[in-house]
Chains A and B, each alone.
Chain A
Amino acid sequence: MKKNATDSRSRSHWRSRLLPVDAVVTGTHGLRSRKGRTLLTAIGIAIGIASMVAVLGISASSKADLIAEIDKLGTNLLQVQAGSNLFGDSAKLPEEAPVMVRRVGPVENASSLSRLDTDVQRNQYLDDNNGLDVLASEPELLDTLDGAMAQGRFLDTGTTALPTVVLGSVAAERLSIRSLDGGPTVQIAGRTFAVIGILESLPLNPDIDRAVFIGNEAAEDFLGAEVIPTAIYLRAIPEFVEDVRAVLPRTANPADPSEVNVSRPSDALEARAQVDENLQNLLLGLGGVALLVGGVGIANVMIISVLERRGEIGLRRALGATRRHIALQFVLESASLATLGGIVGVGLGSAVTYTYARRQDWLVDIPVPALAAGVAGALVLGALAGLYPAIRAARLDPADAVRPA
């Protein structure tokens, strides 16, 4: 059968054309016909991408965990502490400090704590240096800290004047009180106090975890202590946290503002996130080096491929491929080789992230933009790596290339 399509066209329409879909098929022909080599070459890129994705994923998961912790704690929690005076003696806050602090507009609630100069023991026969603090506290403390009870309940208006205590999580452990069954008691300054609750551990508040709480009235009535606040925890409306922070020293202790320390517990977590970021950059750099080596590997393989496929290049030129078509074929081949590596790498990196984060009991956070960037980055790297081999292929003299070497 004859076809006259070309005859009917005007001569000036002899134009070499390669459909986009055919360009892609042609660009992957070399990969499909050399599968073993394709896989080995792609591994280099895959390792580079996988390590970068894993670094990003693991640090994102770790950060997600920190952020969850920060959220739980709240970034609007502020702590006011009595610092030390000029002579290095520990200062106290004025008695009316909690009242003054509560009067600051954007303060949602505040609770004071008073450290009592005494210690707590499991029973009257022991005299351990167990490092636990006895803190006289207000019932609102639990709300202010957004804390939760592991067992029992916190001090309330009914118990604040009774000889009862609530234990921080570490305090409970050190006093060997693991449950409220059997009505456990503790000894403070020779008096017996009933344990009515145990707190859950509070992230970033080790002071609270290590403390035994009694009501202000109980402290005065049973221990004869003078309740003078040593610390105040407060929640401010989030938008005004910085403003509140600025006025706190003068509010809490107008006579000696410099003796007041104001801190934000969540700052410490954020600092930890920052440290992670530095490590992450270092690891990303290492992943980048692996990727670069993978790219150089692809360039090498492509150069060898061009040498081996002189005949094919000559044939394609004879069949009407332009230099551009040849260059495009090799750039596409190199890019698809690297993209294959990128896809494998992204999968591998995600798997590593998932496994690691699950083992650490973190929230799994695989950053989708990083996955897309991983594949796109591999594609670009592959195209760049293929550029020089492609130019060499395009420059081959077709007359030479069709001859047997």
Chain B
Amino acid sequence: MTVLDLTGVTKEYPGSPPVRALDDVSLSVDRGELLAIVGASGSGKSTLLNIIGTLDRPTSGQVVIEGTPVADLSDGGLAGLRSARIGFVFQQFHLLEAITAVDNVATGLLYQGVRRGRRRALATEALERVGLGNRLRFEPPQLSGGERQRIAIARAIVGDPAIVLADEPTGNLDSHTSTDIVNLLRQLNDDGSTIIVITHDQDLAADLPRRVTLSDGRVVDDDAKGVIS
């Protein structure tokens, strides 16, 4: 079943001349996939991440998430879609400093209107899944980079989203820790999560089952379909 379908997605930023960050990108992702969107700086990865994550809208083309055309949704509707169906993992973790690991993970359910007791219970489960069952009460400054990224991953999966979007998840980590994180993502994928990793790291991408290569805003290679252009 297709969870994400992009058709002819183009994004232009105004200016003179306008900057075309994405040019006629089409991409389809099935449930349970683990893929890398790989490209150099300026290839349009970040723009694509924002559009898949519904943080930004395309200039033209269509984005369909679990059968729902994103263009039909209001700003509030997009927020609702993100709260329930999309989990984000960021390079710089974006954890809230003054609260514990459990409460950080629980914020993944905050905007779904889940009660606090239930949020914490689900957050504890998610932290156990990422191997941090022994760090529940720790605050981010007390934890290592790898542990913080695990918290961020737990926050992304706690609501059981349709898509987990990981933006350079190993960008701030050493190589050993990076391997751990990639293994964790594989393990979560084995458990059924659909995960899209956005990265400039060819080695990391090479480890993943499917690679979509971006260059100058176009998809130049997609393992699932072969070379496009």
Binding site for B on A (CB under 8 A): 1-4, 6, 11, 14-19, 21-22, 26, 29, 32-33, 311-312, 314-325, 397-399, 402-404
Complex CA distance for A321 and B82, rounded to whole angstroms: 9
Pick 13 A–B contacts, CB within 8 A, sort by A: A2-B160, A16-B80, A312-B94, A319-B83, A319-B155, A320-B79, A320-B84, A320-B110, A320-B111, A322-B76, A325-B111, A399-B50, A399-B55
B82 near A11: Cβ-Cβ < 8 Å:
no
- Among B56, B80, B99, chain A packs the most CB atoms within 10 A around the CB of B80
**Interface-side segment among B112-120, B174-182, B206-214:** B112-120
| Cβ 8 A contact of A323, one of B75, B86, B94, B125 | B75
Is the CB of B7 closer than 8 A to any CB of chain A?
no
Supposing A22-B116, A318-B55 touch, asked if A14 and B85 sit within 8 A by C-beta, the answer is yes
A18 near B76: Cβ-Cβ < 8 Å:
no
Q: Name the B residues within 8 Å of A315 (CB-CB).
A: 88, 90, 94, 96
Q: How many whole Å from A61's CB to the nearest CB in chain B?
A: 43
| Cβ 8 A contact of B98, one of A29, A318, A399, A402 | A29
Complex CA distance for A4 and B122, rounded to whole angstroms: 13
| B97 to A, closest residue via Cβ | A33
Complex CA distance for A42 and B80, rounded to whole angstroms: 35
- Among B77, B96, B97, B115, chain A packs the most CB atoms within 10 A around the CB of B96
Complex CA distance for A16 and B54, rounded to whole angstroms: 14
Q: How many whole Å from A211's CB to the nearest CB in chain B?
A: 75
Is the CB of B67 closer than 8 A to any CB of chain A?
yes
Complex CA distance for A16 and B84, rounded to whole angstroms: 8
- Among A2, A29, A319, chain B packs the most CB atoms within 10 A around the CB of A319
Prevailing SS type, chain A contact patch? helix
| Cβ 8 A contact of A320, one of B82, B98, B122 | B82
Q: What number of A-B contacts does a CB cutoff of 8 Å give?
A: 116
What 8 pairs between A and B have smallest CB-CB spacing?
Answer: A320-B83, A17-B113, A33-B98, A320-B111, A399-B50, A16-B79, A14-B80, A399-B55
Is the CB of B142 closer than 8 A to any CB of chain A?
no
B56 near A399: Cβ-Cβ < 8 Å:
yes
- Among B79, B88, B122, chain A packs the most CB atoms within 10 A around the CB of B79
| A1 to B, closest residue via Cβ | B125
Knowing that A14-B83, A319-B88, A319-B155 touch, tell me 12 more A-B residue pairs with CB under 8 angstroms: A6-B159, A16-B76, A16-B80, A17-B111, A17-B112, A26-B110, A322-B76, A323-B75, A325-B79, A399-B56, A402-B88, A402-B90
Q: Name the A residues within 8 Å of B96 (CB-CB).
A: 29, 33, 312, 315
B46 near A19: Cβ-Cβ < 8 Å:
no
Complex CA distance for A32 and B111, rounded to whole angstroms: 20
| A322 to B, closest residue via Cβ | B79
Is the CB of B108 closer than 8 A to any CB of chain A?
yes
Q: Name the A residues within 8 Å of B67 (CB-CB).
A: 11
Is the CB of B201 closer than 8 A to any CB of chain A?
no
B79 near A317: Cβ-Cβ < 8 Å:
yes
8 Å CB contacts to A: which residues of B101-153?
107-108, 110-113, 115-116, 122, 125
Complex CA distance for A11 and B80, rounded to whole angstroms: 10
B50 near A320: Cβ-Cβ < 8 Å:
no
B55 near A32: Cβ-Cβ < 8 Å:
no
| Cβ 8 A contact of A319, one of B46, B50, B82, B122 | B82
Is the CB of B44 closer than 8 A to any CB of chain A?
no
A16 near B55: Cβ-Cβ < 8 Å:
no
| Cβ 8 A contact of A311, one of B56, B68, B92 | B92
Q: Name the B residues within 8 Å of A6 (CB-CB).
A: 84-85, 112, 159-160
- Among A14, A314, A323, A399, chain B packs the most CB atoms within 10 A around the CB of A14
Q: How many whole Å from B183's CB to the nearest CB in chain A?
A: 21
Is the CB of B66 closer than 8 A to any CB of chain A?
yes
| A9 to B, closest residue via Cβ | B84
Is the CB of B81 closer than 8 A to any CB of chain A?
yes
Complex CA distance for A18 and B115, rounded to whole angstroms: 10
Complex CA distance for A397 and B81, rounded to whole angstroms: 17
A319 near B111: Cβ-Cβ < 8 Å:
yes
Complex CA distance for A22 and B50, rounded to whole angstroms: 27
A403 near B46: Cβ-Cβ < 8 Å:
yes
Complex CA distance for A288 and B76, rounded to whole angstroms: 39
Q: Name the A residues within 8 Å of B56 (CB-CB).
A: 397-399
